[in-house]
Amino acid sequence: MTLSEELIWRGFLNQMTFATGEELDREKRTFYMGFDASADSQAVGNLAAMMFILTFIRHGYDPVLLTGGSTSLIGDPKDTAERQLQTEETIAHNTECARKQIEKIFAGRKFKMVNNLDWTREVKILDFLRDVGKNFSMTNLVQRDFIAQRMGEGGSGISFAEFSYTLLQGYDYQYLYDTYGVTLQLGGSDQWGNCLSGVDLIRKTRGAEVHAVTLNLVINKSTGRKFGKSEEGTIWLNETKTSPFKFYQFWINSDDEDVEDYLKIYTELEKDVIDKITAGHCESPSSRSAQKALAHEVTTLVHGPARTKAVERATDALFGGLGYAQLTADDFKELATELPVIEAANNAEIADILVTAGLASSKTEARRFLTDSAVYINGSQFSSEKTTLDAADTLHGYIVLRRGKNVTALVKLA
């Protein structure tokens, strides 16, 4: 499968300056793609861009990956309103976070990392206006979709700072063309106009033809909304913002009509493998084999094989048939990030613990649950003859306490 064929099959291609996709197959280029640093973690949407990049790398293209230390200080214009400016210290921290995440995803691949603050920090305003600004037509710029929406009737308006963002991005492309021989920029579908700024600037100032290719926005078919959020909000790549367990659950809860698309976009699995997975899924949708394959691949990519194995075992213990006695100490640590954890004294009464854990509203209700055999420890029904919990009940220092089918907490005995 050629690069252009794979990009089409995976559903990546949005717009491009090439006349035909086959032009992508004729010459291995050095390309760049930028990552915003307005937050201290990249999100699932950024992960799609990273998989887009990996496709080019597999086909012999050389990547330059850019963290937007300077452009993030200005803020990529949104369609609706002005972005809230962040401090230089915040952006510097976010840029470092982006660098670490990108390096983790691209570990084992050859790539160059750059920060556009390194070459824009010392640029003088008069030089920038003469050398860059003079090459942009206001007529063309105000017709760009995001600017037209902001400046049109009912629009919120746009500051000169955000208006200048596209010039800065064009300047980035020119700098990378001069310094590293970059002749292709990749971007999200909302970056098409900004990508063209660099293409036009280099044509005017260097007399060279360079190109841009943009990535389709990933849409959840069942909701029609941009993909990458759960009921709790954005799904982040940083485990302190979205735990590996919640990250895994996000993927395993993918809708049947979307899962094949996500396998193509968010994994490097080849066509024959994905075809086999989806065929098996169609034969037995209730097994959710496609979702399990998707969750395994993406969680392994972002959080590594060890954490993935732990969250898979924790998931199987909570929702599948794996017994808690089969879990390792690391598995219990994973569970402890997701379940309420309470401390109790050795030989504490189970009724008191149920109340403390929020599994019963009172000791009277707790005793009723016990009488009705609705309480389980470590997956087994609690014996009516037993009234306390002690060290003999622990597994790797924890006791899994459940009331009913799915109200669960972890108990650590002091």
**231-247 tens-digit pLDDT:** 778 999 999 999 999 99
Residue (of 312, 319, 336, 322) closest to 409 by Cα position: 336
pLDDT over 70 at 154, yes or no: no
Q: What is the mean pLDDT of residues 307-321?
A: 89
Query: What pLDDT score does 164 carry?
Result: 87
The pLDDT tens digits of the residues spanning 379-400 come to 888 877 788 999 999 999 999 9
The C-alpha atoms of residue 183 and residue 164 are separated, in whole angstroms, by 23
Contact between residue 133 and residue 167 where contact means Cβ atoms under 8 Å apart: yes
pLDDT at 359: 92
What mean pLDDT comes out for the span 191-207? 95
* 210 strand-pairing partners: none
The pLDDT value given to residue 153: 66
79 has a pLDDT exceeding 70: no
pLDDT greater than 80 at residue 302: yes
Residue 276 has pLDDT above 90, yes or no: yes
* pLDDT for residue 279 is more than 90: yes
What pLDDT does residue 155 have?
Answer: 65
Q: Which of 4-13, 134-143, 146-155 has the lowest mean pLDDT?
A: 146-155
* Cross-strand partners of 402: 376, 408
pLDDT of residue 226: 84
Instruction: Report pTM.
Output: 0.88
Confidence of residue 64 (pLDDT cuts 50, 70, 90): very high
What gap in Å lies between CA 292 and CA 296, rounded to an integer? Answer: 6
Mean pLDDT of the chain: 91
Q: 26 or 152: which carries more pLDDT confidence?
A: 26
Q: What is the CA radius of gyration of the chain?
A: 26
AA letter at 93: H
Q: How many residues does the chain have?
A: 414
pLDDT of residue 222: 78
Extended strands (E) in 243-393? 341-344, 348-349, 375-377, 380-381, 388-389
Ranges 32-36, 166-170, 305-309, 332-336: which has the least confidence: 332-336
Please state the rounded mean pLDDT for residues 95-109: 95
Residue with tokens 């861009």: 49
